[in-house]
């Protein structure tokens, strides 16, 4: 416990997040909705205003100084992402609007080009809707079949059942690295290896993993990897799709428009090289540029240090919450990121959320876009507290005290 406090200066880190120093409903803000989106350090906020104050121009097409500066900064973020996830080449990094768009891109391009009637796509029972619905749409269009890996009571996937689902019919396995509702970290490496043995390609939904777990896409050998900048201290509206070069080159474009072409005539159009083939139109330039500052923020503290702190908070909160009568934790996998989901007997999660908010505590309530998972646990939703690098044990103490009071009142 001491070690973490020595390694990481939370007070200094908190000072770097202007939003945290405010009062909400007369109480100091305690922000525990980090799995939805986490807060932004001043370097990210400054990068946005600086870009619009000094460098704003459209990229890749101008031949003037501002366009050059904006293009260079945009491409610098691509290189930073490449290094962050250890991809072989910057060209394998495609900017999207977020994880949702990244997954839709793969379903609409790779999926449409490769999936035929009777083929099978495997997902897990703990997927976010954004890793369910794009595959349902594809299956409906192609007459393919969606198979689901069951999740046990602890919130872990049943690996042996996954093995039973795999066959030569399996073409795509799309799986979440870390669950947003339960916190479960899936055995991604094992899943990828097994899927490859059957010739299936694997997409990893890394939305909840990217800010907390080491990512090495080459070592993982995943075919596609999706993430969102806004869950990594970066701006909203930016995401990444990583894909292996040969796959990205082999699949058709996603959207048609400027930037994604080599040559257009009314008879025929040839497409640009990757990554531009998948980046039609003016992208979210400012936010992509500021995303680099978010990556630098994580790198400066060190992902391992961040993860250690968050896991310490999770263990502390879990131990305390378990002592409260009528509380049940949803998601007790051995390996978890810092997500604590719980329900309280006979009290609606929404009421708890509202009463927490009155105390300045921001938690998430509801199904967290994982309705099938909620059905499996026979619940409508949970209260979810998710921790980030700037959270403290004192804040968790406040959460616990508030929860005890709320339970007494209700």
Which residues make up the interface to ligand 7TS (CB under 6 A)?
A: 35-36, 98-100, 128, 130-131, 176, 180, 205, 207-208, 228, 368-369
To ligand 7TS, the closest distance from the beta carbon of 166 in angstroms equals 22
Q: Please give the helix or strand (H or E) that residue 337 lies within, else none.
A: none
Q: Which is nearer to ligand 7TS, 128 or 194 (CB)?
A: 128
Q: Nearest distance from residue 263's CB to ligand 7TS, in Å? A: 33
Report the C-alpha gap between 146 and 139 in whole angstroms.
7
Closest contact distance (angstroms) between CB of 393 and ligand 7TS is: 23
| Structural contact between residues 228 and 207, judged by C-beta atoms closer than 8 angstroms | yes
Does residue 369 have an active-site annotation?
yes
Instruction: Identify whether the C-beta of residue 328 lies closer than 8 Å to the C-beta of residue 383.
Output: no
Helix, strand, coil abundance in the chain, percent, nearest 5: 45, 20, 35
Q: Which of 35, 369, 373, 407 is catalytic?
A: 369
Closest to ligand 7TS by CB, 41 vs 239, is 239
User: What residue spans of 19-157 are helical by DSSP H?
Assistant: 42-50, 65-84, 99-106, 112-114, 133-142
Minimum distance of ligand 7TS from residue 71's CB (angstroms): 25
Residues 6+ apart with CB under 8 A from 29: 19, 20, 21, 22, 23, 360, 362
Closest distance of CB 306 from ligand 7TS, Å = 18
- Transcribe 218-281 into DSSP letters: HHHT-SEEEEEGGGTTS-TT-EEEEE-HHHHHHSPPSS-STTSEEEE-SS-EEEPPTTGGG--S
Of 119 and 278, which has the nearer Cβ to ligand 7TS? 278
Within 8 A by CB and 6+ apart from 181, the residues are 126, 330, 331, 339, 341, 367, 368, 370, 373, 374, 382, 384
Closest to ligand 7TS by CB, 71 or 124: 124
The smaller minimum CB distance to ligand 7TS, of residues 168 and 350, is found at 350
236 neighbors 287 (Cβ within 8 angstroms):
yes
**Nearer residue to ligand 7TS within complex by CB, 180 or 338:** 180
Exposure string of 367-401, with b = 16+ CB inside 10 Å and e = fewer, is: bbbbebbbebbeeebbbbbbbbbbbbbebbebbbe
CB of 246 to ligand 7TS, least distance (A): 26
CA 389 to CA 286: how far, in whole Å? Answer: 25
Active site residues: 369
């Amino acid at each position: 416990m001491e070690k973490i406090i020595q390694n990481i200066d939370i007070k200094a880190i908190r000072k770097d997040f202007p939003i945290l120093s405010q009062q909400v409903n007369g109480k100091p803000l305690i922000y525990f909705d980090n799995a939805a989106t986490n807060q932004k350090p001043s370097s990210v906020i400054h990068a946005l205003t600086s870009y619009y104050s000094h460098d704003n121009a459209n990229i890749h097409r101008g031949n003037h100084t501002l366009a050059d500066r904006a293009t260079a900064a945009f491409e610098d973020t691509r290189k930073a992402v490449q290094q962050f996830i250890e991809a072989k080449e910057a060209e394998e990094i495609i900017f999207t609007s977020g994880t949702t768009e990244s997954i839709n891109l793969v379903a609409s391009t790779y999926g449409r080009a490769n999936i035929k009637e009777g083929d099978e796509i495997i997902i897990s029972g703990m997927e976010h809707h954004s890793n369910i619905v794009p595959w349902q749409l594809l299956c409906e269009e192609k007459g393919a079949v969606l198979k689901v890996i069951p999740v046990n009571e602890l919130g872990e996937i049943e690996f042996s059942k996954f093995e039973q689902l795999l066959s030569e019919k399996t073409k795509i396995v799309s799986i979440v690295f870390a669950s947003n509702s339960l916190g479960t970290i899936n055995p991604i490496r094992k899943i990828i290896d097994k899927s490859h043995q059957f010739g299936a390609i694997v997409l990893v939904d890394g939305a909840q993993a990217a800010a907390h777990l080491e990512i090495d896409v080459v070592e993982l050998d995943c075919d596609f990897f999706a993430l969102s900048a806004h869950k990594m201290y970066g701006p909203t509206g930016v995401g990444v799709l990583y894909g292996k070069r040969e796959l990205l080159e082999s699949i058709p474009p996603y959207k048609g428009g400027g930037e994604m072409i080599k040559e257009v005539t009314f008879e025929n159009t040839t497409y640009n090289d990757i990554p531009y083939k998948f980046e039609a139109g003016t992208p979210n330039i400012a936010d992509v540029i500021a995303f680099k500052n978010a990556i630098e923020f994580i790198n400066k503290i060190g992902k391992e240090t961040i993860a250690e702190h968050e896991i310490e908070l999770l263990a502390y909160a879990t131990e305390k919450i378990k002592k409260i009568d009528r509380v049940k934790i949803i998601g007790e996998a051995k390996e978890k990121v810092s997500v604590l989901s719980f329900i309280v007997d006979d009290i609606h999660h929404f009421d708890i959320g509202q009463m927490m908010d009155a105390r300045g505590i921001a938690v998430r309530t509801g199904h967290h876009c994982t309705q099938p998972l909620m059905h499996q646990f026979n619940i409508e939703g949970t209260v979810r507290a998710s921790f980030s690098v700037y959270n403290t044990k004192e804040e968790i103490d406040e959460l616990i005290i508030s929860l005890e009071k709320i339970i007494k009142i209700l």
